[in-house]
Structure 1
Amino acid sequence: MAKFFGTNGIRGVFSEDFSLEFVHDMTLAIATYFKSGPILVGYDGRESSQIIAKVVCSAINYTGLDCNNAGLVPTPCLEYAVKKLGYSGGIMITASHNPPQYNGIKPSAKDGVEISREDELVIEDIFLNKNWIKNPTTFGTTGKENRAIDVYVNGIISHIDSQKIKSKHLKIVLDLGNGAQAVTAPIFCKSVGCEIFLINDKIDGQFPGRGSEPTPQNLSELSKSVKDNNADFGIAFDGDGDRSIFCDNNGEILTGDKSALVLTKFILQKNPNSLVVTCLNSGSNIELVANEFNSKVIRTKVGSVEVSRKMVPTNALIGFEENGGFMFGKHNQVRDGCMTLALMMDLLAKSEKTLSELISELPPSFTTKDKVPCPQDNSKKLIKSLKEEFPNSDITDGIKITIDSKNWVMIRPSGTEPIIRIYGEAESQQKLDTLMSKYIQKVKSVISDNTFKTNP
């Protein structure tokens, strides 16, 4: 088990468990793992990101490797630039959707995809044993990389029918969440002739608009703006711009599952006999959609690294998570909020139907998720207790308790925060509400049990 890497990179509270000294030493380990340069460094809009970037660059140089600083960019922009511009690897400084006091590091390999779980352990071993490069013959240098944003936006445009999109004069609301997509998504939209309405477009590491994670509860302004402006749809990004949550033309906020199903159907119509990769906590309808186009679905543990790293060797066309992370293999096998936006534009430009009409054509689906605060030590005990109570359940990742293919609940510790996540699917909203209520209560009950708290 990784000690420092969570579900998606290394994260912690800045100046506490994620100190500059820790960042420096971990970067030495990452640079040693990379072996050669140049390395591309980028960062999100958090208040601590720029100082962390300086420490990261200097630590890379100390090992004898060169690096370039791309500045403030979304995570998928950094990853794409690593691949397209020929870097040996990349380090993105971000805590994604975590609260403002957090920050983190996310390494990507030379193929522009997050490093594998196995390579995370290699880096941790170097770090724990301090086996990083020491006393190199020469130090590396730090330069600037000014091409990342243009390369990224042009890469996205290459996968869509930009002339068709321009002819439709789409109206789109962008909730940029005070995050990193503010430097790229508006540029892309203007390049394909869309009329855009901006919300939370000022980059601010405190995320004052609605927080760094887009959820149905904090997207009321997006919904209102879509209706007020008679927009074709709205989209909200997370802090580092790799995830996107959509709002249809009626102002309805869509789950990540629903938007992924609509996009998957659109892509598979043009590319039948393809492969789709998704996590265990995604809804069951993806198999129905894939079967319609003679395509297959592979399920992985939760986490974009799991999906991305399964897409690479299988040459999968599509990958997604229920949280709004969508991956288009022809572009890059990583979550990409702006590429996902482009695909939705492409779909609507080529369809005579509205987004709400396209959603209504999907198989009925009732999915949701919730979370319960829980210290990390207690979360392990919770899962152990549930496994004893439900011995026949899937324990690949946390525990997935299945009644049948349409009715299940999955409970797992978050890899990024001290919380337990609870996911559910049912054949009706009433059954879903009952199922979630039952298991949320069960989780809270086990966590609050005094015996559970004090005994291993």
Structure 2
Amino acid sequence: MPSPQERLFGTNGVRFQPGISHDLDFVIKLSEAIGTYFGDGDLLVGRDGRLSSNALSYATVSGLMSSGRNVGEAAGVVPTPAMQYAVKTQGFRGGVMITASHNPPEYNGLKVVGRDGVEIPRLDEQRIEKIFYDDAETRADWRAVGVAMEEPSVVKNYIDGVLSKVNTKLIAKRNFSVVMDPGNGAQCVAAPYLVESMGCKLITLNSVLDGNFPGRGPEPTPETLADLSAVVKSIGADLGVAYDGDGDRAIFCDEQGSILWGDQSGCLLADYVLERAPGGVLVTPVSSTQAAEAIAKKRNARVFRTRVGSVDVSRTIIERNATFGFEENGGCIYPPHISVRDGAMTTALMLECLAARGMSFSRAVSYWIPRFHQTKAKVEVDPGKVDLVMKKVERDTRGRVEKVDGLKFWLDERSWVLIRPSGTEPIMRVFAEAETREKAESILKKFLKIVKAASA
């Protein structure tokens, strides 16, 4: 069990190493606290394809039932956004997703969502932690223990929901050729069927569900997507797309084989969506490109910057009644569908965007997006040294600083660096952006040295 008052929730839910940092007793107790937090109403539980997810799902369902909640169990593996969509559209009071997203295979976790399908607010996470640590009465009388029921149509309803939000006839007319790499993750069960149903020719890589993530790991990056790039070029496909472990993020590859980080795909979609909704609102974290402001200005829209993390982006989208949201890691949020990041929805919207633009992927990116270059890296840091490292970095760095999340230094009007501790791993992330790749890489190199020296 964690030490008293240790934070359980990080940037995206509760993450841990089953059997090492926490055991199933912890999951049951946490689930009892979650069930107590929700009070009345049925809850939904979904799981990704990690090796420990099945056991954690049973423990979570048991804890929720013990607290008196009736529980729907999504049949089999489901992408995180499919579970969230089901909570929103099928009348559940809330839900729990068993996933560790992009973390290595030995990790897992619990993500708690409200009745709108969106991760619960930070203050509500703290309420659950208080229930957990206060040892409040979380178990129902034996006559009030909940029951479990299978929910067999979560994935089908999810695919139908995505299809209802795009112009499938326009997409089908383009006769796209798509190479898809689900990375042995949860989108194996949904995204291929979605893309084929829109009339696209599909070739898949790493499309067999496997909790070991043997193909290229659960995190899609330019380094891990070399095979995707090679296949796109070799067969002359229109685009490639890859997903993270739980399927809520999408990373694209253009027809030339270039891997496009989330800032590029997010900006392309933001421009497309805001063009159809002038005067709209765009939400994105402090880690995303400054091109967002240029696009918003062109479309007479406003930009709201948040802390890093899908919880903060989603909740700000709801508060501001925003039009679109994106993250530099490939997470895109299209509120007409659901206000959470969704890899399959992002794919369908990108296909519609490219069909409407009537040009190749690479041409659309170069034509519609102001060009900035961003690079990033991570440094292992002892969690006990994080505060000291941040103080040293702030003391030794000149420039206008923003403290929305971590330390973001504007080195000049068009160059910045962001240093922030990860909310899910014992690392610090460093982001740098400038007008040229060389300058961005130089900034990154400089600040990696600073962070490493400060943490020594």
Please indicate, yes or no, whether the TM-score normalized by the shorter chain is above 0.5.
yes
Give the root-mean-square deviation of aligned CA atoms. 1.2
Cα distance 1:131–1:438, how it changes in 2: closer, same or farther (>3 A)?
A: same
Task: Specify the SS of the correspondent of 2:338.
Answer: coil
Q: CA deviation at 1:390?
A: 4.0
Alignment-mate amino acid for residue 278 of structure 1:
T
Counterpart of 2:437 in structure 1 is 429
Equivalent residues of 1:174, 1:236 under 8 A apart: yes
Counterpart of 1:117 in structure 2 is 122
Counterpart of 1:271 in structure 2 is 277
Residues 172-181 or 132-141, more deviating: 132-141
Task: Specify the SS of the correspondent of 1:216.
Answer: coil
Task: Specify the SS of the correspondent of 1:333.
Answer: strand
**Residue 70 of structure 2, aligned match among 66, 69, 72:** 66
- Unmatched 5+ stretches in structure 2: none
Alignment-mate amino acid for residue 395 of structure 1:
K
Give the structure-1-normalised TM-score.
0.96
Residues 137-182 of structure 1, C-alpha deviations (whole Å, 9 max, x = no match): 4210001001211111111111111111112211101101000000
Tell me, in whole angstroms, the C-alpha distance in 1 between the residues paired with 2:444 and 2:197. 44
**Residue 28 of structure 1, aligned match among 10, 16, 32:** 32
Q: CA deviation at 1:85?
A: 0.5
Counterpart of 1:401 in structure 2 is 409
Cα distance 1:406–1:124, how it changes in 2: closer, same or farther (>3 A)?
A: same
Tell me, in whole angstroms, the C-alpha distance in 1 between the residues paired with 2:200 and 2:359. 18
Residues 176-232 of structure 1, C-alpha deviations (whole Å, 9 max, x = no match): 100000000011112111111100001111111111000111100000111112111
Cα distance 1:359–1:27, how it changes in 2: closer, same or farther (>3 A)?
A: same
Residues 389-429 of structure 1, C-alpha deviations (whole Å, 9 max, x = no match): 34852222111111133111000111011111000111212
Residues 426-435 or 324-333, more deviating: 426-435
Alignment-mate amino acid for residue 324 of structure 1:
G
- Unmatched 5+ stretches in structure 1: 449-456
Tell me, in whole angstroms, the C-alpha distance in 2 between the residues paired with 1:373 and 1:176. 28
Counterpart of 2:14 in structure 1 is 10
Give the structure-2-normalised TM-score.
0.96
| Runs of at least 4 residues off by over 4 Å | none
Counterpart of 1:324 in structure 2 is 330
Counterpart of 1:308 in structure 2 is 314
Counterpart of 2:105 in structure 1 is 100
**Residue 357 of structure 1, aligned match among 351, 363, 373:** 363
**Residue 368 of structure 1, aligned match among 361, 370, 375:** 375
Q: CA deviation at 1:58?
A: 1.0
Alignment-mate amino acid for residue 257 of structure 1:
D
Counterpart of 1:90 in structure 2 is 95
Note if 1:280 corresponds to 2:286.
yes
Counterpart of 2:389 in structure 1 is 382
Counterpart of 1:416 in structure 2 is 424
Equivalent residues of 1:28, 1:132 under 8 A apart: no
Tell me, in whole angstroms, the C-alpha distance in 2 between the residues paired with 1:272 and 1:150. 33
Counterpart of 1:452 in structure 2 is none
Among all aligned residue pairs of Structure 1 and Structure 2, give the percentage whose two residues are the same amino acid.
Answer: 42
Counterpart of 1:454 in structure 2 is none
Task: Specify the SS of the correspondent of 2:357.
Answer: coil
Q: CA deviation at 1:440?
A: 0.5
Tell me, in whole angstroms, the C-alpha distance in 2 between the residues paired with 1:56 and 1:349. 43
Tell me, in whole angstroms, the C-alpha distance in 1 between the residues paired with 2:137 and 2:386. 33
Counterpart of 2:58 in structure 1 is 54
**Residue 201 of structure 1, aligned match among 204, 207, 226:** 207
